[in-house]
Amino acid sequence: MSAAPKFKNNVKISERHGAGEWKIEKLALAALMPLGLWALSTGFTLAGADYGAVLAWFGSTLNAGLLAVTAVVFCLFASLAWKVILEDYVPGPSRSSLILVSNLVFLVLAAASVFFIVRLALGSAPLPAGV
Residues of the chain with pLDDT under 70: 1-18, 125-131
pLDDT at 109: 98
Q: Which CATH number fits domain 23-122: 3.10.20, 1.10.3820, 1.20.1300, 1.10.357?
A: 1.20.1300
* Stated pTM of the model: 0.80
pLDDT at 21: 85
> Tell me: the pLDDT tens digits for 58-89?
999 999 999 999 999 999 999 999 999 998 89
Domain definitions of the chain by residue range: 23-122
Q: In which element (H, E) is residue 130 found?
A: none
Q: How many CA atoms lie within 13 A of 13 on its CB side?
A: 5
